[in-house]
Structure 1
């Protein structure tokens, strides 16, 4: 049966996971959960995308529910207050739309438009209130979602989030240049870049407003916390690479670990897929060990003080959601229309994107 047997989409059918992508350990050891707010989350994010004009109305009506963006977040940030989860889900949906705009700017040769957007996002990140009515709806939508995210925790958390996302924007710029020039990064270059383009530390930062507490630096940077956080994100990035490899080969992409392995390590495509799968499976096994170390760390934080109890409880909540990320990412890749390349009319052009070919404005 499907991971989510109920849905606000018109149909709900069992998802068959291809044997090459199946991970029995995820299906057996990482039970998928869903935030109780999810049905309203899906409806509200759909409405927000329309209100912000981030996607054409016909694309929203036809594709958004099937893309399952809200399922991904509702399966991750369990325990988050409803308004926190809504802000995260809207921001996540925005991120997917931004990723698609970035891709189309490359495909249609729009470097001036990309540079203008890059500058505007940097500025909006530091002063979102001033960009709520920006002429570019992508910038206005970003400002709206970021302003809401900034309302939950102290300014120190906001500054960290901004610092991390400035780095993500610059990583997208490096990806833009690589793709434009046809440069396939080496494996090590790619792994470093991927941690930024996948926004590892952004999704990890968002564990804290979900838990209702900004973690002290000494806790957040402790290896017992940082290692399971990184492993959960690496799993997601590399499993995404494994699942999206056909889509990205069809679209002449240069950013995929499999593509780097074929280009620079001289692997065959089959060897690269096997190597990707090995890395994914190692992430899972290493996480299971790191998770236990993290839980022992959380126990040690409970020192008899109220503050110690609060921090310990928050760390446990964050670790629990790092675990949830594995199952949420896994099922998302098999339920979302974002990766169903074989069902598209043109394997290089996703049907849910605005594929207008207008030149620079």
Structure 2
């Protein structure tokens, strides 16, 4: 943002406040890195919107290429001419310093499909394609980066969870519930802005387009789905806490994993209140105060600086949680 925009809007956007409520217990340097990643994510989302609106396809493709490269070699991208690539490299490098190569590889494996999903959305924006409801739900789980935010619970707990815990059905169900809640509540609060901006990616817009719901029926249905997510989490939370207690009774290693699991479940729960608070405090969703309801007043239409294209090997990462 230009300095005048920073002074007028940055604090009221509450981007860094958002993560403070659901990574409780994180070391300060990790919390700062996650907060910066969250701020970066909103900036990337706004670039995606503006590049799609203005048809800046070549710039968008170069950005995606740079982000994919950053996940594998973040240090090499710290001086990249596009500040979104350089900023992402800074965040990734700091995040990679906490749990080691295995966790780092998983983080990259989960973020590659997020970039690809944003690219898929770019194509939909250019063609005016509104995804069907179930297709949108699956796409949204990628563009919201569900598994990336769940991965970050582990360095917050200062412990990498074993596969037997991460892949436990109750853990996956709790994680999905908290992230679907967050994504769909975001859709609900973004709906006025995205309808005004001819956006095609919103649960409400998919429901209106493909199921013929009115605006009021759509709001009611999204509310129902959001509420169901809370119930889904509460249904599996006791099982996870019992699992943590059982692990804690099995020696020093078990106590460490049990405590980490308790931390992860505690912060999953915190997503609900933190996301709710953020959407009612952040200036990002106060469209009634904007001159143009489709465009936040702090977003610039400027594109990225020009830089040479780089040929990178094609990647086809799996979108599934591993």
**Under TM normalisation by the shorter chain, which class is it?**
over 0.9
Counterparts of 1:113-152 in structure 2, within 5 Å, are 113-152=59-98
Shift of 1:146: 0.3
Partner of 2:145: 199
* Whole-angstrom CA distance in 2 between matches of 1:291 and 1:358: 44
Match of 1:104 among 50, 58, 63: 50
Match of 2:270 among 324, 330, 335: 324
1:99-151 per-residue CA deviation (whole Å, 9 max, x = no partner) reads: 11111101111011000101011011110000100111111111011000000
Matched, 1:290 2:244: no
Matched, 1:64 2:64: no
Match of 2:206 among 254, 257, 260: 260
Q: Identify unmatched segments of 5+ residues in structure 2.
A: 308-322
SS in 2 for 1:180: helix
Number of residue pairs matched by the alignment: 307
Shift of 1:359: 10
- Contact 2:193–2:295 (Cα < 8 Å) also in 1: no
1:257-309 per-residue CA deviation (whole Å, 9 max, x = no partner) reads: 11111111111111111110000111112211111121112112224310000
Partner of 2:103: 157
Moved over 6 A (4+): 357-361
SS in 1 for 2:261: helix
Q: TM-score by structure 1 length? A: 0.83
Partner of 2:29: 83
- Contact 1:224–1:294 (Cα < 8 Å) also in 2: yes
* Whole-angstrom CA distance in 2 between matches of 1:359 and 1:139: 11
1:188-244 per-residue CA deviation (whole Å, 9 max, x = no partner) reads: 100000000001001000000000001111111101211111100010011111111
Shift of 1:352: 1.6
SS in 2 for 1:135: coil
SS in 2 for 1:183: coil
Shift of 1:57: 2.3
- Contact 1:112–1:360 (Cα < 8 Å) also in 2: no
Match of 2:156 among 210, 226, 229: 210
Shift of 1:358: 9.0
* Whole-angstrom CA distance in 1 between matches of 2:80 and 2:49: 21
- Contact 2:18–2:278 (Cα < 8 Å) also in 1: yes
Shift of 1:159: 0.4
Partner of 1:278: 224
Q: TM-score by structure 2 length? A: 0.93
- Contact 1:190–1:255 (Cα < 8 Å) also in 2: yes
SS in 2 for 1:104: helix
Q: Identify unmatched segments of 5+ residues in structure 1.
A: 1-54
- Contact 2:81–2:305 (Cα < 8 Å) also in 1: no
* Whole-angstrom CA distance in 2 between matches of 1:159 and 1:359: 30
